[in-house]
Amino acid sequence: MATAAIGGSHLVASTQAGSLFGWQLFWLIIVVNVLKYPFFRFGMEYTLATKQSLVEGYKQKGPGYFYSFIALNIVAAIVNTAGVLLLTASLLHYALPVTISVTLLCWIILAVCLLILLLGHFKALDNVSKIIMVLLTVTTVAALVVAINNGAINHGAMNHGTMAPADYVGPSPYELAMLGFMVALMGWMPAPIEISAISSLWLKEKQQQQVITKQQGLFDFNLGYWLTAALALVFFSLGVLVQYGHVQAVQLGGVAFAKQLIDMYALTMGEWARPLVSGIAFLCMFGTTLTVLDGYARTLNESHKLLPVKQSKHSLNMWLLLQAFSGMAIILFFKSALGPMLTFAMTLAFVTTPVFAWLNFSLVRSEPSIVHSPLIRTLSWLGLVYLVGFALVFLVWKFT
């Protein structure tokens, strides 16, 4: 569930990449989803095999692993909460017929999310998030089909498979100055990798309610993961077909980005689709915000349980509230600036990815009951080399 639900956040990165660079980064979205796949899968496999969460596994591997996870997870929880909450509020701001400040909408959305979660509706969260993702997927695929059809009808105006003017020459993403953008793009693609720990905890809870075989668990995971990855390519393609080559620059500035996102659907499907898509896009990000709040709070609470300190019976709610208000503090610090906030969140997600990937990889390698095919082992090593190498190059570029 987690990857599919939180995957709504990658619509920002996918759409912007297609809008700015055309088809040039299509391959990168495929590669990053394929190379991240083993590390998300390891979390599900470990819980299916041991009936323990990844957090418990980190604790058993040693204090270095465990405390590294806690430190990075606290930072990720706060930053990603702020990022998805601000994007959700920006979409709602655009969809509402009355003008309400984005900051106030953040407070309102946060209050509603906390009310839902504090009442303990876990099953409702699970079911609703799946419905929302199905609605978003159907609508987006329909918009893409219409965009492709419009391109075929107006093929004379097309420029290398886009609707850009024939003489338009777009920017190149392969310049050193674009490294920061590419890192941000990969950070939330298809989701921050620490989401694997959240998926692991949700799976453990489901195992306590019903019997889940390895085959069932992996089928559900693969369906959610690859659906999310495919949706990234659909958003990317829409960005290319509808926005690439336009005079107006692609925005990441809160309501401006929300407007351009919804415009993509209205331009392809007609004005009748604008309110429908506005609602679906908001619900998608609202579900993502719920998932982030619930999931990270559970991992923080699980880590707290494993520490040699006394724990209150209300500790989960305490972590939820602390995470929520810390995320809101970040939004206030950035003064509701969506562009810098999202870039910061996505960049942090990528830079910390190698650590979480290695944690998952080392954990399943130490579990004798988990045996992988040569393909998964090869993808794992390739993924580690790619993630570590790209992160090091970015850090050297950033600080020199």
Q: Give residue-wise pLDDT tens across range 277-314.
A: 777 778 778 888 888 898 899 999 999 999 888 777 78
Q: Are 187 and 181 in contact (CB under 8 A)?
A: no
pLDDT at res. 351: 84
Residue 224 scores a pLDDT above 90: no
Distance CA 4, CA 129 (A): 8
- Where does the pLDDT of residue 155 fall: very low under 50, low under 70, confident under 90, or very high at 90 and above? very low
Say how far residue 376 (Cα) sits from the centre of its chain: 23
**What mean pLDDT comes out for the span 216-222?**
89
pLDDT at res. 128: 66
Q: Which residues contact 375 (CB under 8 A, 6 or more apart)?
A: none
* Cα angle for residues 196, 19, 388 (degrees, 5° grid): 35
Q: Which range has the top average pLDDT, 34-38, 165-169, 230-234?
A: 34-38
SS3 category, 283? helix
Q: Which residues contact 273 (CB under 8 A, 6 or more apart)?
A: 139, 143, 265, 266
Q: Check residues 160 and 57 and name the one with the higher pLDDT.
A: 57
The 10s digit of each residue's pLDDT in 341-361 is: 767 777 787 888 888 899 899
Distance CA 227, CA 221 (A): 10
Residue 5 scores a pLDDT above 50: no
Q: Are 346 and 87 in contact (CB under 8 A)?
A: no
Q: Are 23 and 162 in contact (CB under 8 A)?
A: yes
Handedness of CA 146, 147, 148, 151 (dihedral sign): positive
**What mean pLDDT comes out for the span 149-159?**
52
pLDDT at res. 328: 93
pLDDT at res. 214: 85
Residue 30 scores a pLDDT above 80: yes
Q: Taking all residues of the chain, what is their mean pLDDT, rounded to a whole number?
A: 81
Q: Which residues contact 348 (CB under 8 A, 6 or more apart)?
A: 75, 76, 79, 187
Question: Above pLDDT 90, what percent of the chain?
Answer: 18
The 10s digit of each residue's pLDDT in 268-278 is: 767 777 777 77
Q: Under the phi-then-psi rule, with left for phi > 0, alpha for psi from -120 to 50, and beta for the rest, what region is 160?
A: left
Look up the pTM and report it.
0.83
3-class secondary structure per residue, 173-203 = CCCHHHHHHHHHHHHCCCCCCCHHHHHHHHH
Distance CA 394, CA 203 (A): 34
Q: Check residues 177 and 36 and name the one with the higher pLDDT.
A: 36
Residue 11 scores a pLDDT above 80: no
What token pair was written down for 362? 């080392």
Q: Are 301 and 198 in contact (CB under 8 A)?
A: no
CA distances in angstroms from 283 to 85, 88, 181, 208, 331, listed in the order given: 12, 8, 27, 29, 20
Does residue 190 have a cis peptide bond before it, meaning omega lies within 30 degrees of 0? yes
DSSP string, 47-72: HHHHS--HHHHHHHH-HHHHHHHHHH
pLDDT at res. 394: 85
pLDDT at res. 211: 84
Amino acid at 198: I
| Count of alpha carbons within 13 angstroms of residue 212, beta-carbon side | 23
pLDDT at res. 98: 85
Which of 232, 244, 221, 218 is CA-nearest to residue 188?
232
Q: Check residues 384 and 263 and name the one with the higher pLDDT.
A: 384
pLDDT at res. 46: 92
Q: Which range has the top average pLDDT, 110-124, 126-140, 218-232, 275-289?
A: 218-232
